[in-house]
Amino acid sequence: MRIVSGIKERLGEAFRLYFILVTLITVLLMILGLMFDSDRTFGYEIYFSPLLYALIGVIPVFVFHSDRELSMKRLVIRNILRLLLVEALVMMLVFKAPSIPSDRPEVVAGIAVGITVVYILTMVVEYIFELIQARELNTYLEEYQKRISDDIM
């Protein structure tokens, strides 16, 4: 039962992360495109790239996972490893894709910095979602404790 719950939790985290990433990657691609390649026109196949990049961004959820509570140091290390994995996977794709001008250093640097910014923004958005959930849970617990104490008296 605990295994199923853990898988369900990771899938939920991956699902939420995926849609956050699709949104932020779409904005990043727009910014990078306007900065480095504003004259280029694309077909409808370009709409697949944010979906693919977001899928790559979700992989670390399944690779670097712990059921234990992590110390701050381990959490930071895990997040750095996740970022490095995503950077490496996306950069491999960048250098293999004929449509991305990877021969231009400023484009490669822009993509690398963009990945880091998207990663940090994703962590901020997830933190806000978790903070809201924690506050709701605390409110429910306070109401429950009040009902229990009222029933005892």
Tell me what the mean pLDDT of segment 122-135 comes to: 91
User: pLDDT class for 5, splitting at 50, 70, 90?
Assistant: low
pTM for the model: 0.75
The mean predicted confidence, pLDDT, of the chain is 85
43-82, pLDDT tens digit by residue? 777 778 888 888 888 888 887 776 677 788 988 888 899 8
Query: For residue 59, what are its two tokens?
Result: 């992989």
User: Which residues, other chains included, contact 6 with Cβ-Cβ below 8 Å and sequence gap of 6+?
Assistant: 67
**Which tokens sit at 38?**
């504003």
What is the C-alpha to C-alpha distance for residues 133 and 18, in angstroms, rounded to an integer?
Answer: 19
Place 113 in a pLDDT band, splitting at 50, 70 and 90.
very high
d(CA 59, CA 119): 13
Distance CA 94, CA 107 (A): 10
